[in-house]
Structure 1
């Protein structure tokens, strides 16, 4: 795996830490900004809004520009948005910086995915994407915890400065490792050609699978801390350790998935989604019992992230002529799941169904995701059969 792919993973770690860290010090931010905790929580939603829109828009606008230049520009804007956020005392201004930062982060994701895919052979695409997504997994394990510690002890502004500095450092790595210059004339992508490649029902089914699988995971994960304290009865001091266990499971899952997904993507998807359904249902049923719940949190991370390499690589296999837009819309699909899963879980909690209900909802969304995987696998087999028949027909005609 080229060093540049790991540098891109480091860049995702730096930016992904910002996506996650606010959950660790929302009360401190609310007090400092003079707003309520729910209002401060909208800063997380602001990031999701920027991510949802930024990937396809920026991917299309920068399609014909040198990728290294685009990546550096996105990282510079991301870092500056955090500097501005650290310096402001206005809630509105901070909200705007969150949207801007997420907007270019989504664009970075899309362009970085296309770049990583272009740096490796076809049989290593899922592994390259697992390295890229692994940056976010490490952010879940280390970035979230470290950002929380910095925010709680040195103030939330210090956490913003730390993200800005780490992003600048990753930018130096991008400058030194990503090939510069414009692509050759024949390799310059065209927006029209990429848009034509998007007209593929199987591709949109893959995007739907991504959104459903992510929603199934995030429905449970978003309220995991509240479930552990409010239903399982753990002391809040133990929550970071259990979340670290979730992160460890995620890292193991994405590593194993990345090694298998290139050769057997549907095996990874069937195994991961089925495991996610069973783990979510077991988590809901055994939530009051700590000895059962804690190991299930590990499995939730393992199965949930184990599908990630296959979910990331599948669009590239279906849209070979549109690598940038394929990645961009997949980023948006992930964020649809990130937004919808917690929203549905929140509706259940607000309706008085209790914290275990979010895991039942995760299991139900997972069943829908499994149906999408089965349909995708069936269409893939049909496509292969048609191709084989066409090849036989060509041979007979030649004879």
Structure 2
């Protein structure tokens, strides 16, 4: 595996840590900036909004950029906004840095995955992708708890400085190891380019414009077709289901620290351990989904959502019992990320001909949930419903996800029945 792939994974680790670490820093940020817990929770939502906007936009804009230059630009912006965030005394400025940092994160993701698979042979593409994406799950296991420890000992700003510092080695590694040329349209373009001069040796003048113009004619309709497919009735229910499931995850996760310290009765030193348990469960969930979700995807997703609804409900009811709460946290991390991974796989399976943007739309749906979840949990807190309220909201959101997926399955069953009846009538 090329060293450059691991450099990309390191950068993704830093970015994943930034996205999730605020769950252990909410109280200290709120106290330091003199804002409410719900306002501090909106910092997670601001990052998610930036990812929602940035994922499809950057996927389109960066398709033909030189990869090394694009990666360095996005990573430099990401580091800069974290330095500004670590220094600012203003909540408004911090909120803006979260949004801009998410745009840079989305742009980096758009280029990093394509760069990783382009540097390895076909048989290693899955491993290269796993190294890059694995940076996120390792962030959940290591980076987020480490951020909570730094926040507890030296204040929340130390966690922002740490993210910026961890990104610097990745910046240097990208300079040295990522090729600087433009991104090729496909992995197989070199062979046709070598053969082209033989084909148009004699009628050079006539054929050359056609060869050059043809990809342009094809490319623009292809992007429009992908957008049409990804926003059509086949995918909308799945994207909505994904947003609701992730909304539930981020709603409870964003306010896990005040739940554990003010309802469960655990000391602040337990928070990093609880976050590490959630991250370990998330890593296990992604691994299990990667191996088994393809066999029976519908059943895997349905059972996962039912288990999640029961799990969030149980946590809300038993949050005052430390042993039960700590036992449930890794299980919920496993169910949340396992089900989310299976839903992303479904999106890619429903739109194989729209590979350019399918992942970006899945990322957007993921982050719509990450936007709505903390906002909804903050509303419940502001309404005076107590620190268990975000967990109850999570259970409600998963219930809505189950309803949405049930409607989708019913509509598909009716469509199949109608097509069968039509075939019989025609026969």
TM class by smaller structure: 0.7 to 0.9
CA RMSD of aligned residues (A): 3.9
Report the equivalent of 1:315. Answer: 347
**In structure 2, how many angstroms separate the alpha carbons of the residues matched to 1:107 and 1:26?**
26
Aligned to 1:397: none
Shift in alpha-carbon separation, 1:75–1:226, aligned structure 2, 3 A: same
Which entry has the higher C-alpha Rg, 1 or 2? Answer: 2
Deviates more, 1:170-179 or 1:231-240: 170-179
What aligned pairs does 1:92-131 form with structure 2 within 5 A after superposition?
Answer: 92-113=92-113
Do the aligned partners of residues 92 and 370 (structure 1) sit closer, same or farther apart at CA in structure 2, a change above 3 Å counting? closer
| In structure 1, distance between residues paired with 2:366 and 2:171 | 24
Compute the TM-score of the two structures, normalised by the length of structure 2: 0.76
Question: Residue 148 of structure 2 contacts residue 272 of structure 2 at CA under 8 Å; is this kept in 1?
Answer: no
Establish whether residue 239 from structure 1 lines up as the match of residue 271 from structure 2.
Answer: yes
Aligned to 1:396: none
State the match for 1:257 in structure 2.
289
Q: Which residue in the other structure is 1:215 paired with?
A: 247
Contact 2:41 2:255 in 1 (8 A): no
Q: CA deviation at 1:214?
A: 0.5
Task: Give secondary structure in 2 for the equivalent of 1:355.
Answer: coil
1:212 Cα deviation from its structure 2 partner: 0.8
SS of the residue 1:167 aligns to: helix
Corresponding residue for 2:370? 338
The runs of 5 or more residues in structure 2 that have no matched partner are 190-214
Change (3 A) 1:180 1:169: farther
Counterpart for residue 83 of structure 2: 83
Tell me how far apart the structure 2 counterparts of residues 20 and 142 of structure 1 sit (CA, whole Å): 11
- Residues 275 and 347 (structure 1), Cα distance of their counterparts in 2 relative to 1, 3 Å cut: same
Higher mean alpha-carbon deviation, 253-262 vs 20-29, is at: 20-29
SS at match of 1:322: helix
Match of 1:15 in 2: 15
Work out the number of aligned pairs and report it: 388
The alpha-carbon deviation at position 261 of structure 1 amounts to 2.8
Counterpart Cα distance in 2 of 1:384 and 1:177: 49
Q: Give the stretch that moved more between structures: 370-379 or 14-23.
A: 370-379
What does 1:1-399 correspond to in 2, within 5 Å? 7-25=7-25, 35-36=34-35, 42-86=42-86, 92-113=92-113, 132-154=132-154, 156-174=156-174, 176=177, 180-184=181-185, 190=220, 191-376=223-408
CA distance in 2, matches of 1:7, 1:356: 40
Aligned-partner Cα distance in 1 for 2:351–2:397: 26
Contact 2:258–2:387 (CA under 8 A) maintained in structure 1: yes
> Structure 1 regions of 5+ residues with no counterpart?
393-399
SS at match of 1:181: coil
The CA distance in 1 between the partners of 2:259 and 2:271, in whole Å, is 10
The CA deviation at 1:166 is 2.2
Tell me: CA distance 1:10–1:386, structure 2 relative to 1, closer, same or farther (3 Å): farther
- Indicate conservation of the 8 Å contact 1:261/1:310, yes or no: yes
Secondary structure of 2:65's counterpart equals: coil
Residues in 1 aligned to 2:142 and 2:377: alpha-carbon distance in whole angstroms: 26
Would the alpha carbon gap of residues 337 and 128 (structure 1) be closer, same or farther in structure 2, given more than 3 Å must change?
farther
C-alpha distance after superposition, 1:173-228 (max 9, x if no partner): 55636795331476995443432333421222221111011112222222222222
1:139: how far off?
A: 1.5
1:255 Cα deviation from its structure 2 partner: 1.3
Alignment partners' CA distance in 2, 1:388 and 1:94: 57
* CA gap 1:208/1:80 in 2 versus in 1, 3 angstroms: same
Cα offset for 1:302?
1.0
Aligned to 1:395: none
Instruction: State the distance in 1 between where 2:86 and 2:365 align.
Output: 30
Measured at CA, do residues 232 and 380 of structure 1 come closer, stay the same or move farther in structure 2, by a change above 3 Å?
same
In structure 2, the residue corresponding to 1:212 is in which secondary structure? helix
Distance change >3 Å, CA 363–CA 168, structure 1 → 2 = same
